[in-house]
């Protein structure tokens, strides 16, 4: 009887093993995505704390969405391929003029996603300047320079006067590597919602528009990211 019981217990353990492993993998994946949200918030804070070299207030005042891609690295040395993952937050409301939303997980790729210094990882920030650009990013894969216009963003207080010309583009892009922050062209890069990561964070398949519409809870890891964006919104009032 003990032998049968032991065999039965072993069968149960073997049968449950893959399920338990899958559950642990999901937990690990969700933890990785949550770290991505936190890291994006840290990067954004550091950049917004650069009063003389950061993103001009006039750019942030007109922003509909902000994308942060921390630690983008080359994945094909000699070819120049790149792949990055980050988050996007958009202002809520029909005209994208409300409070900032919970994060939408994003992925990027392309052979021309800006320059890097000595192979160092590069942080990217993309500011979406109009409704059309925001709508396209919420549901589609967008190729910058083809599906949406993009320009190197102006930097620092001294750039305020020249900002209007740059803001004709749907998106303004920036990079930071080894402490150097500058506007950079991302023409040719692609951006898309990261559906798998969104499902991992929110527990179900959810569209970017649903996230902006407030149909999911705000992840606690997004506190830094959203609070920094809310400060820029409050400052313009």
Is residue 18 included in any domain, yes or no?
A: no
Residue span of the structural domain in which 219 resides? 46-235
Is residue 62 included in any domain, yes or no?
A: yes
pLDDT confidence of residue 218:
96
Cα–Cα distances (Å) from 113 to 64, 81, 152, in that order, read: 22, 8, 12
Query: Beta partners for 106?
Result: 86, 193
Is residue 154 included in any domain, yes or no?
A: yes
Say what the pTM is.
0.80
Task: Tell me which residues of the chain have a pLDDT lower than 70.
Answer: 1-31, 73-83, 111-120, 157-167, 233-237
pLDDT, tens digit, 9 for 90 and up, residues 168-194: 889 999 988 877 888 888 888 899 999
CA distance 200 to 144: 27
Is residue 22 included in any domain, yes or no?
A: no
Is residue 138 included in any domain, yes or no?
A: yes
How many domains does the chain fold into? 1
Q: Are 206 and 72 in contact (CB under 8 A)?
A: no
Is residue 69 included in any domain, yes or no?
A: yes
CA distance 208 to 198: 9
């Amino acid at each position: 009887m003990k032998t049968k019981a032991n065999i039965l217990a072993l069968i149960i353990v073997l049968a449950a093993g893959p399920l338990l492993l899958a559950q642990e993998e999901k937990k690990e994946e969700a933890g990785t995505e949550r770290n991505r949200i936190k890291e994006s918030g840290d990067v954004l804070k550091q950049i917004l704390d650069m009063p003389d070299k950061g993103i001009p207030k006039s750019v942030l005042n007109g922003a509909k969405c902000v994308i942060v891609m921390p630690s983008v690295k080359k994945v094909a040395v000699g070819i120049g391929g790149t792949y990055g993952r980050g988050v996007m937050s958009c202002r809520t409301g029909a005209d994208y003029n409300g409070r900032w939303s919970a994060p939408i997980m994003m992925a990027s790729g392309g052979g021309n996603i800006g320059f890097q210094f000595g192979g160092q990882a590069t942080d990217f920030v993309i500011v979406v300047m109009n409704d059309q650009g925001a709508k396209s990013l919420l549901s589609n894969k967008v190729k910058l320079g083809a599906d949406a216009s993009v320009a190197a963003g102006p930097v620092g207080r001294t750039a305020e006067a020249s900002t209007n010309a740059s803001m004709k583009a749907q998106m303004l892009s920036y990079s930071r590597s080894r402490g150097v922050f500058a506007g950079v062209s991302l023409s040719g890069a692609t951006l898309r919602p990261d559906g798998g990561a969104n499902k991992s964070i929110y527990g179900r398949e959810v569209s970017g528009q649903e996230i902006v519409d407030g149909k999911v809870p705000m992840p606690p890891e997004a506190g830094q990211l959203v609070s920094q964006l809310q400060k820029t919104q409050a400052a313009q009032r």
